[in-house]
Amino acid sequence: MKSNKPVHLREVWADNLVYEFFLIKEAISRFPLVALDTEFLGTVFQLNRDKSSLSHATPYENYRLMKWNVDLLKIIQLGMTLSDSHGNLPSLGTEFHYAWQFNFRDFNIKHDHHNEESIGLLERQGIDLKKNREKGIDSSDFGRLILSSGLVSNNSSITWITFHGAYDFGFLIKILTKRELPSDMRSFLGMMRFFFGVRVYDTKFMMGCISGLHGGLERVAMLLGVERITGRRHQAGSDSLLTLQTFVRFKDSRVLKLISRN
């Protein structure tokens, strides 16, 4: 981003959901890059493999694991950052730039499956699960509005960006279809193409091609000289913004040349 305008996260709840989607719909023609991140309460299922061999799991094993977890778990937050090809964000006619953070009410701590450690982690990062339950968005309302926003259903002008984004798209497809994920990976990939088109980039996967450029989002951003400019880690809006910044920085050929020399 070249502008010095400060960046604010637009917190989205049930009472301002319609208005915020109106703003997004107005912005996407000028800002067609969309970075996505989700927060949820950990994973319940794990692969029955030794830790040292997890990286050798097949795509089918990884899909099956993701499906089991997404089917069982509830989304807490979804972060969305829109930008142009240079990383400039919408200002909406104000002195600020903006990214969005959607807070969902679906999760009920008394009844729903969750990872206990993840509750503490998200609460330490400022996520108020009680407020989410009382004022958050029903995922069915979110699904209805995103379907009419111009963001999904194979809109070829939109480019989607994630970092290790299988679960992000898994939760979004679960919301869009209002059902469990398909039993086979091929059907899931068909849904990916139908809803999100072919311009889908997973920054973590792309960076795996560069020697030494690996690890989580925070580490990769640091290696590329990208700083988190608003919010906190494990908050979906802030992480979607950092994902966008990292992607734009990674596209810079000078950065790639510098990394390849080291």
Is 150 within 8 Å of 25 (Cβ atoms)? yes
Please tell me the predicted confidence (pLDDT) of residue 154.
67
Is 188 within 8 Å of 181 (Cβ atoms)? yes
Please tell me the predicted confidence (pLDDT) of residue 260.
55
Please tell me the predicted confidence (pLDDT) of residue 111.
87
- Picking from 84, 100, 205, the residue whose alpha carbon sits closest to that of residue 145 is 100
CA distance 86 to 201: 16
Domains detected in the chain: 7-261 (3.30.420.10)
Please tell me the predicted confidence (pLDDT) of residue 130.
94
Alpha-carbon dihedral 122, 127, 130, 133, rounded to 10 degrees: -100
Please tell me the predicted confidence (pLDDT) of residue 199.
93
Helix, strand, or coil (residue 79): strand
Burial class (CB in 10 A: 0-12, 13-18, 19+), 198: exposed
Buried-state track 2-37, b at ≥16 Cβ within 10 A, e below 16: eeeeebbbbebbbeebeebbebbeebbeebbbbbbb
Both structure tokens of 175: 């919301």
DSSP string spanning 210-230? STT--S-HHHHHHHTT----S
Please tell me the predicted confidence (pLDDT) of residue 243.
97
Please tell me the predicted confidence (pLDDT) of residue 46.
77
Buried-state track 122-139, b at ≥16 Cβ within 10 A, e below 16: beeeebebeebbeebbeb
Is 200 within 8 Å of 243 (Cβ atoms)? no
Both structure tokens of 12: 């989205």
CA distance 87 to 130: 34
Mean pLDDT by 10 residues, the chain (262 residues): 83 99 97 97 74 73 95 97 96 97 94 83 88 97 96 84 97 98 98 95 85 83 91 93 94 61 56
CA distance 90 to 43: 34
**Which residue has 């703003």 as its token pair?**
23
- Give me the phi and psi of 227, to 5 degrees please: -105, 145
